[in-house]
Structure formats: structure tokens, C-alpha cells
Amino acid sequence: MSAHGQWAVVLGASAGVGARIAEALAADPGLNVFAIHRGNWPEGAAQVRRAVNALGREYVEWRADGGTADAPAEGVGRMQAALGADGKVAVLVHSLASASVGALVCGDPPLHPKQYAATFARMAHSFPWWVQALHAAELLAPQGARLLALGNIMPDVVVRQTPLIAASKAALHQYVRHLAFELGPQGHRVNLVDFSFVPTPAAEATFGPERLARLTAVMRRGTPADRLMDPAALGRLVSTLVGPAGEWFNGARIDFTGGESQSFFDALLSPERLR
């Protein structure tokens, strides 16, 4: 994939794994970065800008909620102005993380329909919305774009208070499969990467500091390596997937959990291991 005039659009690029992925793509294969985030972590966004610019790549930032139904249309307009006549989107990364936690029925109160709608919009529906908008505007790289969503093991396990996260990630997986078939003949590739848990700022905002600390302990012990993933490792994987080595991945749900999905229940059932 030639990086000349090529851009990576990263939804949720100010902190956590989205930030590390943006930096990795600027380094390899050397893409310019169009970063979309809500501005909650300006210091993290500034760090990404410095890292991308230090590599000699362009960095454009749009502070907005990329998970709304109106965002793709406005975002595409801004891209057309920023990327120029020859600029194309080689990579789209969906790293939006904003969810409501709680119980479906037995909460006090239970989750409200508005919380369902907002969680699914940001964590599932927004992925095909953005793909649709980029495709309609003919911004996807004609030689084949890489469209990547990020998932986790939540659809395969039951963690109390997280039904909307699990359900939205399951929906995201189905969107990936169908988009792969729709766009495959045009040379585009659509995949989902399940990555292992990391205590990001978004996770703290979702769960709160105390519950996040407990969840972090369980997840660490639920990984065979007995440590949490370095977010930079996910960035390196994404760089590989968008390169020639990843060209035949399509419609895939790629397990990058470090074995977390295999030993998650062992950690839950063995409290003495939570040292």
C-alpha cells in the first residue's frame, strides 16, 4: 500500500488503543491521520499529533462525537476539504468506546431505551454509517481500503452490568461480515479485531475507578501471560493487517486477546489467584 496521499481515519483517536493505532499507522505504512474524537482527553490528542508530525505525516483533528447519525456526513465534508483532490482514505479504524452499564431488568433503575440507542449508535451502528458515507463520497482508496472495527470477548462471556456492550459488539461483528461481502468485489477488506482488556480512560469513564480496578485484576489474571496488553501491540497488529501480509483477511473476527477468552472463567472461579 503506497502511503502517498493516503490517509487513516481513526474514530476515537485521543486516548487508549485508538491513539496508539493512529501513531502506528503514521509510522507503518506511513499514512496521514484524520483523527476524530470528542475532546475529552486533549493531552492525549496532543501527544498523538506530536507523534504523527514527528514522522513527517499530516495530522488533521476534528473534535466531534463520531458516533451520531449525522457525524459521517459532516465528517466527510471536512475530509474533502482537508485531504485535497488526490487524498484518499486507505484505512478506517472504528475505536469508539462509549457505553451505558447496568442491568436490563433488575437495575435500580434498569437501562433506559435511550441508553440502548446511544450505546448501539456509538459502538456498532456508526461503523457502517461511516463506511457508507466514505464510499458514497468516493473517498475510499480505489486500490482497496482496509476497514477495521475493534471488539472484545464480551459477546462470548457474561460480565454483570455490561449487556449493552456485549450486544453492541456482537452487532458490530455482523456488520463486518456483511460489509466484507458487499465491498469485497471492489478490493476493500473489512475485519474485526478482538483485543484484550486494557484500562483506558474510556473504560474508567464507563465503569468508574473502583469497579475498573476490580475488573482490571480479573482480566489480568484471566490472561495466560499474567499481564495486560500493551496498547502499542495492537497498533503493530493493525499496521500488519493493512499491509500486504493482511490482504486476504476479510470478514474475519481476529482474536488478539492473548488467550484471555480461554482463561477468563478460570480467573473468575479462582479468587485466590487475584493477588
Instruction: Write the pLDDT tens digit of every residue in 169-197.
Output: 999 999 999 999 999 999 999 999 999 88
Provide the residue count of the chain. 275
Residue 74 forms part of a structural domain: yes
How is 54-120 classified by DSSP, letter by letter? HTT--EEEEES-TTSTTHHHHHHHHHHHHH-TT-EEEEEEE-------S-SSSSSSPPPHHHHHHHH
ω before 29 within 30° of 0 (cis)? yes
* pLDDT (mean) for 258-272: 61
pLDDT tens per residue across span 145-163:
999 999 998 999 888 889 9
- CB under 8 Å to 216, separation ≥6 — which residues? 197, 199, 228
Strands (E), 14-56: 32-37
Cell of 6: 493516503
Mean pLDDT (the chain, rounded) = 91
Task: Provide the domain limits for residue 200.
Answer: 6-273
- Amino acid in the structure at residue 141: A
- Mutual angle of helices 163-183 and 113-120, in 10-degree steps: 40
Q: Read off the pLDDT of residues 202-261 as tens digits, 9 standing for 90 and up.
A: 778 777 888 888 878 877 877 888 888 999 999 999 999 999 999 999 999 999 999 886
Asked whether the beta carbons of 153 and 264 are under 8 A apart, the reply is: yes
Q: What is the 3-state secondary structure (H, E, C) of 152-202?
A: CCHHHCCCCCCHHHHHHHHHHHHHHHHHHHHHHHHCCEEEEEEECCCCCHH
106 in a structural domain:
yes
The residue whose grid cell reads 505525516 is: 57
Residue 11 lies in a domain: yes
3-state secondary structure (DSSP) of residue 151: strand
Look up residue 205 and give its three cell numbers: 469513564
Q: Give the pLDDT confidence score for residue 261 in this predicted structure.
A: 66
Amino acid at 229: M
Q: Are strands 59-63 and 146-151 parallel, antiparallel or unpaired?
A: unpaired
CA distance 164 to 170: 10
Domain membership of residue 33 (yes or no) is yes
Share of the chain above pLDDT 90, in %: 72
Contact 34, 5 (CB under 8 A): no
CA angle 127/179/90 to nearest 5° reads: 70
Query: What pLDDT digit, counting tens, does each position of 32-60 carry?
Result: 999 999 988 899 999 999 999 999 999 99
Q: Nearest Cα to 32, choosing from 12, 11, 3? A: 3
Q: How many distinct structural domains can be found in the chain?
A: 1
Give 181's contacts (C-beta < 8 A, 6+ positions apart): 251
Question: What is the model's pTM?
Answer: 0.91
206 lies in some domain: yes
Amino acid sitting at position 8: A
Q: Which helix or strand (DSSP H or E) is residue 10 part of? A: strand 6-11
In a domain, 1, yes or no: no
**Residue whose cell numbers read 474524537:** 37
Give the domain CATH number at 26: 3.40.50.720
